[in-house]
């Protein structure tokens, strides 16, 4: 079974608007972590934001925030005030268990920001 599901293959967003990227996950381990990475057309993987399963508050990093709904097993990424430089592929990933650093990735969502 897929551990990470990203149902939106591609999205368009207008510059300066917010966009939400969906991510649902599947695990039975009570200790896990959720990551979002950005991959621009140049190919590198850039870490954006992290949410731990025991974190009480939703994670935020600048214009990125994570809408963590534990009961629904979702960890959606919200990008506020989109910029042209946000055009990229975005990956949701999960590590399971304490002390385990293997990551399971979703298939990714391509975001295109329009001027």
Sign of the CA dihedral running 103, 29, 60, 114: positive
Q: Is 35 in the site for other proteins (CB under 8 A)?
A: yes
**Binding region for other proteins (CB under 8 A) out of 10-18, 19-27, 66-74, 104-112:** 104-112
Query: Interface with other proteins by CB under 8 A: which range of 18-26, 30-38, 66-74, 77-85?
Result: 30-38
Position 43 contacts other proteins (CB under 8 A) = yes
Find the binding residues for other proteins in span 56-85 (CB under 8 A).
none
Cross-strand bridge partners of residue 64: 61, 79
Burial 43-78 (b: 16+ CB within 10 A, else e): eeeeebbebebeeeeebeeeebbbbbeeeeebbbbb
Residue 109 tokens read as 């969502």
Q: Which residues bind other proteins (CB under 8 A)?
A: 4, 33, 35, 37, 43-45, 47, 50, 52, 91, 93, 101-108
């Amino acid at each position: 079974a897929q551990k990470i599901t990203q149902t939106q293959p591609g999205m368009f967003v207008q510059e300066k608007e917010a966009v939400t990227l969906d991510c649902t996950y599947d695990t039975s381990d009570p200790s896990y972590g959720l990551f979002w990475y950005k991959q621009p057309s140049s190919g590198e993987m850039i870490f954006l934001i992290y949410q731990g399963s025991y974190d009480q508050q939703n994670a935020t990093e600048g214009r990125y925030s994570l809408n963590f709904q534990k009961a629904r097993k979702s960890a959606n990424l919200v990008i506020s005030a989109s910029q042209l430089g946000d055009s990229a592929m975005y990956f949701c990933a999960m590590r399971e268990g304490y002390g385990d650093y293997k990551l399971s990735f979703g298939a990714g969502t391509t975001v295109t920001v329009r001027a």
